[in-house]
Amino acid sequence: MILRTIIFACSILLIFGRCAQVVAPTGGKKDSIAPQLVQSIPSNKTVNFQGNRIELLFDEYIIVDNINQKLVITPEADNPYSYKLNDETLVLNFKKKFEDSTTYTLNFGDAVKDFSEKNPAKNLKIVFSTGPKLDSGRVYGRVKDLKTNQPILDVLVGLYPPSDTLDPVKQKPYYFSRTDSSGIFSIENIQVKPYRIIAVEDKNRNMLFNSKDERIGFLTDPIPGNSDSTFYNLDMVISDNSMLRIQRTLPKVNDYTVIFNKGLESAKIRFTEGDTLPHVVTADQIKFYNVGTHPDSIQVEIAVTDSLGTDSTFQQKITFLQQRGKTPQKDPFNLNSRPENNRPLSLNLHSQFNFNKPVSILDTESIMLVRDSTSSTALSKFEMEWNPYRTELIVKGKVVAKDSLKWQFPKGAVISIEQDTLPATTIKHPVLDNEDYGTLAGSILIADSSQSFIVELVDEKYKVVRSAKESPYHFTEIPEGKYFLRLILDDNKNGRWDSGQFQKAMQPERIVYYQEVLNIKSNFEFSNINISVDNPK
């Protein structure tokens, strides 16, 4: 009897125990409240901290998300840590104690989130000092792209000890922060002393500058890391200061390509033994074509200028691969145009045709501009201009049409130096007359009358639409759309923008934007759109 009673009692306990299991609630109002920090050890702004364990207690269950990437500790501490998560508590255990008499800031970003809805804790930051007082220095400001005038998110802004040998390629910052979506950064609780401030794009998050493909911005002179209200603006650009070199070559049966490690501003080819080969210079490479009769290998001297204006000369042997088996496959022969297909074309004709190979034969009598689908004019009737490689053709003239213009390239009208034929191609354009365009005019107001400049109108993708080098400027035939007006201060008077060099403490040439977006409308003139620069230096 007693045994039955015990078994019955256990069964009841098991049943009710299962009913009392904790499960996630269903339905109800969604949790939108971020976890709140209840207590920390050490507490925020503690002084004389000597431990190596950080403990954070929250008001609800939490998770951590990629804390090793998101937790930012300044100054940088060569002090590895592990972490443990226990319901509402996060514990960081550092391998060793922190450096003496130093103020540390632990900024968690959005690494800590609540368990249920993944709401990140806001402004989660712990500051403590291993000495008797907290450092009070502060540096803050904004980072933007110099060429677009737009803020940049997640840029590494670092403070470095001033030094003539400072190299952000090899040296990590002592203090650092990252920008928010508005490009704003703030580095607080730093030692009050001078620093060099440098912004680095840091794509791979190694806290070092990769000059090949990362933007950089810097101030030339050291800044005082004090607690005043100075706001620093940093403008970032790509500035590849590495020495120009031939990165690799790509020999084929039909062509031979010399590829450089960065972009070329210009190139001159000299064939040292009297031979010659057709060639094309593009952004960062030179391609030689295997046509005509020539020796098995040809020696050339390549004199190039890179994007920083540095001149270099290379000796290169051009050797094509030998033909084996069937005829090698050629790259297709094609073209693209500006304006692009189906984009408006002015009656003051200006068409640009870009071919992917040098052109050997152009039948200007069979290529036609068809007007309103009723009449046509041969290409030969227009003004034409080739680039040095016969890959770019500019066509100018005046035409009369009401609705449409259409370029027609029949098959066989264009033949490349490789003797392949451009397929039949048609490029259509709606017609815009003068009333369909807007105009823009204004002046550049600079205190120094000897200052050279370039004024540019760029579209929403920052592609240059119009440019001038004089004031007042007057831009006509601007299609409807949104544009930006900017001014390049051409300090070295070379007619182009220069990106500067960090190692030589050379800032990029300044770019000043007109403060408003210009919404160009048809049959409307913007006048007195002036850009004023009081102190261009």
Provide the pLDDT for residue 1. 46
Query: Per-residue pLDDT averaged across 306-319, rounded?
Result: 89
Neighbour count for residue 466 (Cβ, 10 Å): 17
Answer whether residue 292 shows pLDDT above 90. no
CA distance 432 to 447: 39
Q: How confident is the model at residue 18 (pLDDT cuts 50, 70, 90)?
A: very low
When mean pLDDT is compared across 11-20, 59-68, 328-337, 491-500, the lowest value belongs to: 11-20
Query: Per-residue pLDDT averaged across 334-344, rounded?
Result: 93
At 36-92, the pLDDT tens digits run 999 999 999 999 999 999 999 999 999 999 998 889 898 988 899 999 999 999 999
Amino acid at 174: Y
When mean pLDDT is compared across 12-21, 61-70, 207-216, 503-512, the lowest value belongs to: 12-21
CA distance 369 to 43: 78
Answer whether residue 222 shows pLDDT above 70. yes
Provide the pLDDT for residue 523. 87
Provide the pLDDT for residue 3. 41
| Distance spanning both ends of the chain, measured CA to CA | 103
At 421-438, the pLDDT tens digits run 999 999 999 998 777 889
At 347-386, the pLDDT tens digits run 889 999 999 999 999 999 999 999 998 999 999 999 999 9
At 472-530, the pLDDT tens digits run 999 998 989 999 999 999 998 988 898 888 888 899 999 999 999 999 998 899 999 99
CA distance 334 to 283: 19
Query: Per-residue pLDDT averaged across 174-179, rounded?
Result: 91
Query: Per-residue pLDDT averaged across 305-329, rounded?
Result: 86
Answer whether residue 465 shows pLDDT above 70. yes
Q: How confident is the model at residue 273 (pLDDT cuts 50, 70, 90)?
A: confident
Token couple for 283: 């952004």
Chain mean pLDDT for the chain: 89
Domains and CATH numbers, the chain: 37-129 (2.60.40.1220), 137-238 (2.60.40.1120), 246-319 (2.60.40.1220), 335-432 (2.60.40.1220), 437-533 (2.60.40.1120)
Dihedral angle, C-alpha 240, 244, 249, 250, nearest 10 ° = 40
**C-alpha distances out from residue 345 to 348, 355, 373, 379, Å:** 8, 20, 15, 16
At 100-151, the pLDDT tens digits run 999 999 989 889 999 988 999 988 999 999 999 999 999 999 999 999 999 9
Provide the pLDDT for residue 537. 52
Going by their DSSP bridges, the two strands 524-526 and 531-533 should be labelled as unpaired
Q: Tell me which residue of 420, 475, 473 sits closest to 445, measured CA to CA.
A: 473
Going by their DSSP bridges, the two strands 175-178 and 125-129 should be labelled as unpaired
Rounded percentage of the chain residues whose pLDDT exceeds 90: 69
Token pair 């048609």 is at which residue? 426
Query: Per-residue pLDDT averaged across 307-315, rounded?
Result: 87
| Higher pLDDT, residue 310 or 406 | 406
Provide the pLDDT for residue 441. 97
Provide the pLDDT for residue 30. 64
Contact (CB, 8 A) for 59 and 88: yes
Provide the pLDDT for residue 296. 86
Answer whether residue 2 shows pLDDT above 50. no
Answer whether residue 5 shows pLDDT above 50. no
Provide the pLDDT for residue 128. 96
Rounded percentage of the chain residues whose pLDDT exceeds 70: 93
Tell me, what DSSP letter sits at residue 532? E
What is the Rg, in whole angstroms, of the alpha carbon atoms belonging to the chain?
A: 33
CA distance 183 to 204: 19
Provide the pLDDT for residue 512. 95
Provide the pLDDT for residue 463. 92
Q: Tell me which residue of 76, 135, 86 sits closest to 107, measured CA to CA.
A: 76
Q: Tell me which residue of 120, 112, 73, 71 sits closest to 90, measured CA to CA.
A: 112
When mean pLDDT is compared across 11-25, 153-167, 256-270, 388-402, the lowest value belongs to: 11-25
Percent of residues in the chain assigned helix, strand, coil, to nearest 5: 5, 45, 50
Provide the pLDDT for residue 39. 95
Is this model's pTM higher than 0.85 or not?
Answer: no
